[in-house]
Structure 1
Amino acid sequence: MVGIGPGGPLDRTPRAEKAILESQVVVGYKRYLDLIGDLIQQQELISSGMTKETDRCLEAVRKAGEGFTVSLISSGDSGVYGMAGLALELANREKQSFPIEIVPGITAAGALAARLGAPLMLDFACISLSDLLVPWDMIRKRLEAVAAADLVTALYNPRSKKRTEQLDEAAAIFRRYRKGSTPVGIGTSVGTKDERIVIADLDTFLDFEITMRSIVIIGNTSSRLLDGWFVTPRGYKV
């Protein structure tokens, strides 16, 4: 299971590149395979679209069970909203036994944080707003909990063409606990040629374009802007 980072080749690890180059089969979402096109030589490629994650993982497990060296690709880190967990579950279900290596990658939240400044310097949480696998009522409870606990929060899958209200509700929850001037960073397609970075605040960030390829980082009550950088102080005396 290989995490390729947020997208650009500069954010891939040598370990991830080595794993892909040494594989006989590479399995992944088509867009992710496009991002590693420079690493594809003679490998067999298996790709599919969104919502086909189970099919991709099952095919990877079966190929590995047949004795092939397989790279199952995730963006970011394969263990953070990626394919690692699902692949391990399927390997167990299919009673397949073969060597497994999980290759970490730079997470989307970490990549965006580096572009914004240092917003994750203190305790933080990551929450996906996608309710395809987790009921919205549960997501709402988690949002309430992290907002009340004053955690910096990275929102994954914030908005899609079909899901437009969840981000609005999340913003309303955070506004009950934090000032409207709280810094909010938005990163879309971070690390690629289409990258867009915006620093706004809790009152205005919904005015900017936010898509499924975006990550939103909401600061805590001590987060601030310093010379244009989004910083959450850790508490050192300065």
Structure 2
Amino acid sequence: MPSHTENTGSLAIVGLGPGKREYMTARALKAIASAEYVLGHSMYLEPLEPLLNGKTVISSSMGKEVDRAQQAIDLAKTHAVAIVSGGDAGVYGMASIVLEVLEHDGAEIKVEVIPGITAANAAASRVGSPLSGDFAVISLSDLLTPLEIIEKRLDAIFSLGIPVVLYNPKSRGRPHNFALAVEHARKHLGKETPIGIVKNALREHEETIITTLGEIEEHIPAIDMHTTVIIGGSESRIWRRGDDVKGIITPRGYHRKYIY
């Protein structure tokens, strides 16, 4: 067991980004290196194996987030602890539940939330510059948020004409939520609106598709829980070089002020 000193515990809630070490921040790497205990979902711990020698590693499965948070807090009262989360820990990650559990626990622990590249940034980087100005992010998972609330948010966001990033777009347990999002998008956006579909962004087995709102149905079978979907806004366009599709551009507004 790792040695420890009383009342010198700390807790780092670490965003790992897409998963590859080259996309982790230096601060995230340092927090993991300094930790005596590292906790996380097995999927996120596996790529970290070279960094975990000599540490106590506690792995758990999906659905155990509350238990994982409480265990991390209990350990952090007297040890240096890192609890890891894919992407950014504060964006659909572990930060909120850890801080909520800590709030109820009442323990005085030094806590740091360490940011990571979230799926919106990772996916956008693979399809050009679709998120150059204002944009919105919404998860289609109705595990914690009722579907009727998700639909209200989708309708409101698409009405603004800004790009929308969809997390958790489709799974075997909820195969129809993405189709509902497309219905709401079509109320407000034209069929030529560009869509970027990125599976495993900045990870192994990456796949990227650029299509339009009018042709999205043929690509729905390729979408799953490892996919991030970016639906462009009213000014977004497909960037072409000749007949080749190069990516998606959402102008930031320079064309209204400058000649180029």
Q: Distance in 2 between matches of 1:206 and 1:135?
A: 25
Which of 213, 221, 227 does residue 214 from structure 1 map onto? Answer: 227
TM-score of the aligned structures, taking structure 2 as reference length: 0.89
Cα displacement (A) at 1:10: 1.6
SS at match of 1:73: strand
Cα displacement (A) at 1:145: 0.4
Which of 252, 256, 259 does residue 234 from structure 1 map onto? Answer: 252
Letter matched to residue 233 of structure 2: N
Give the gaps of 5 or more residues in structure 2: 1-12, 241-245
Cα displacement (A) at 1:75: 0.6
1:1-238 superposed matches below 5 A: 1-65=13-77, 67-208=78-219, 209-227=222-240, 228-237=246-255, 238=260
- Is residue 7–residue 189 contact of structure 1 (8 Å, CA) maintained in 2? no
Cα displacement (A) at 1:199: 1.0
Q: Distance in 2 between matches of 1:85 and 1:73?
A: 13
Output one character per residue of 1:138-182: Cα deviation in whole Å (capped at 9) or x when no partner: 100000000101121000010111111110010011011111111
Q: Distance in 1 between matches of 2:118 and 2:104?
A: 28
Cα displacement (A) at 1:200: 1.2
Q: Distance in 2 between matches of 1:110 and 1:19?
A: 22
Structure label with greater radius of gyration? 2
Give the gaps of 5 or more residues in structure 1: none
Cα displacement (A) at 1:205: 2.7
Letter matched to residue 157 of structure 2: V
Output one character per residue of 1:64-120: Cα deviation in whole Å (capped at 9) or x when no partner: 12x111111011111111111110110111111110011110111001111111000
Q: Distance in 1 between matches of 2:64 and 2:223?
A: 23
TM-score of the aligned structures, taking structure 1 as reference length: 0.97
SS at match of 1:204: helix
- Is residue 7–residue 190 contact of structure 1 (8 Å, CA) maintained in 2? no
Letter matched to residue 94 of structure 1: D
Cα displacement (A) at 1:28: 0.5
Equivalent pairs, count: 237
SS at match of 1:89: helix
Q: Distance in 2 between matches of 1:196 and 1:17?
A: 27
Q: Distance in 2 between matches of 1:28 and 1:5?
A: 14
CA shift in 2, pair 1:206/1:14, >3 Å: farther
Q: Distance in 2 between matches of 1:169 and 1:6?
A: 27
